[in-house]
Amino acid sequence: MASNPKVSVRDLRTWYGPKQVHRGFSFDVMPHEILGVIGPAQSGKTTLLRAINRTLEFTAGSRMTGEILVDGDDVHQVDDVYGLRRKIGMVAPLPVGLPLSIYDNVAFAPRAAGMNGRSNLDHLVERCLRQAALWEEVKDRLDSLGTKLSGGQQQRLTIARALSHSPEILCLDEFSIAIDPVTTMRIEDVLKELRREMTIILVTNLVQQARRLADRTLFLWNGEMVEIGATEVIFGDSPKDRRTADYVNGIFG
């Protein structure tokens, strides 16, 4: 029996002031899948993530119409928006470490949510750092500043911090834009493991990354959803739209 969608987007339209970003499209994200989102710059990929976790409203003059449902609930009707954002973890393109120790970077959000007790926090910090493939590199220097880590380590620390509030959905916005290929591949391995525990929406400017990781791929262009389908179809010989074939083969974008 098919499971219900984890995320449902219905007729999404967004604006920044008078500028329309999304032009009305709908799709579902299923539990425990990795959905890749690809498309040229300014196609609306980042705004899509911001609409899903309601950080779009941080931008003055922004607005949206349509519906975004998480587990069947309209995200704009929830009473606890902070709880919603804990449920939907976000990883930004550039690692943004808090000016705190490695340990406190990971423990910050759980403490703010009321977790206390050193043993509980110790267990959580280790679990998240292991999930982010960082534990073995930092376990002997947890009191060191997180901002002193290498760029790739800081990006993995950002992932560990996103995992610290046990999200059910993890959104990644071009996480590999500022890290080396070796670290990128390590994080990709992490994401393959994490999909057992959560749903992942991966915005990427590297089409081959979507090809390696995504179960399905969504192609955005100029605010329009050109198509969505199984990754092997999108990257194969029979995508529905010629623009898709042209984009994934590097003819434009």
DSSP 121-137: HHHHHHHHHHHTT-HHH
| pLDDT (tens place) for every residue of the chain, 253 residues total | 358 999 999 999 999 999 999 999 999 999 999 999 999 999 999 999 999 999 999 999 999 999 999 999 999 999 889 889 889 999 988 777 778 999 999 999 899 888 888 999 999 999 999 989 899 999 999 999 999 999 889 989 999 999 998 999 999 999 888 788 888 898 899 899 999 999 999 999 999 999 999 999 999 999 999 999 999 999 998 889 999 999 999 887 6
C-alpha to C-alpha distance for 52 and 169, rounded to whole angstroms: 10
Neighbours of 37 (CB within 10 A): 27
Domains and CATH numbers, the chain: 7-248 (3.40.50.300)
Angle between helical axes of 151-163 and 102-112 (0-180°, round to 10):
20
- Can you list the alpha helix ranges (DSSP code H) found in the chain? 45-52, 81-87, 102-112, 118-131, 135-138, 151-163, 181-194, 207-213, 231-234, 242-248
**DSSP code of 115?**
-
